[in-house]
Amino acid sequence: MECIFCRLDDYALENDLAYAVFDAMPVNEGHMLIIPKRHVQNYFDLKPEEEAAMLELLHKGKKLIEEKYSPDGYNFGVNCNSCAGQSVMHAHMHLIPRYRGDSEAPLGGVRGVIPEKMGYIVKK
């Protein structure tokens, strides 16, 4: 099966080993995907230089999103394998801008991948 990420060519950002695009089905305005140019399924199978290239674009993407959308915060992360929610089997990182009021209860952030673990109380 042909990989949809391997066909992309309209990059918002790019370096030698990776590129960034705005997500076609964004969670929030400005949602970006950071993708290695080499087709590899799992983030943990990236070469160190590919991971570094993706992290470079993560920071450049944040700057671009700041200038364009002025978000109040961010979530970023990677889904590895279908049981963790990966739907395109080409490694990629999500950079999701967050805006005050976009969620009724944002406490827990990325813990929301398992909804019943989202809300928790910090014990002092």
Which token pair is 103?
């969620």
- Helix, strand, coil percentages, rounded to 5, for the chain: 30, 20, 50
Beta-strand relationship, 93-98 and 73-77: antiparallel
Specify the 3-state DSSP secondary structure of 21: strand
* Residue type at 54 in one-letter notation: M
105 half-sphere exposure, CB direction, 13 A CA radius = 10
Which of 9, 7, 10, 14 lies closest to 61, judged by CA?
Answer: 14
* Residue type at 74 in one-letter notation: Y
Active-site choice (31, 39, 90, 92): 92
90 is catalytic: no
Instruction: Return the active site residues.
Output: 92
